[in-house]
Amino acid sequence: MKNEQEVYAILADLTGEQLNDKPDQELFNSGLMDSMATVQLVMELEEKLNVNIPISEFERSEWDTPAKIMTQVAALQ
């Protein structure tokens, strides 16, 4: 549950939107996030949730909703 709260807090900071009730909100196609926000997302996830996200293996389609981000973080922990 801590991971979920942290992911939503990071996304709120990056997008300016509260997405807690929108786990399937598309972040990139909706324009909420761009490539710069993606870099910030990766850095914050690595720092706050102690995961290593290899940029060379980062596939945007696997990280494009809050729910997918949480799934990926769980898989990397």
Report the candidate in 47, 43, 51 with the shortest Cα–Cα distance to residue 70.
Answer: 51
Q: How far apart are CA 67 and CA 22, in angstroms?
A: 9
pLDDT at 55: 83
Q: Domain holding 42: CATH number?
A: 1.10.1200.10
Residue 28: how many other CB atoms lie within 10 Å: 16
Q: What is the pLDDT of residue 2?
A: 86
Into how many domains does the chain fold?
Answer: 1
67 is written with which tokens? 């729910």
Boundaries of domain holding 34: 2-76
pLDDT digits (tens, 9 = 90+) for 1-58: 689 999 999 999 999 999 999 999 999 999 999 999 999 999 999 999 999 998 887 8
- Give the mean model confidence (pLDDT) for residues 57-72: 93
The pTM for the full model equals 0.91
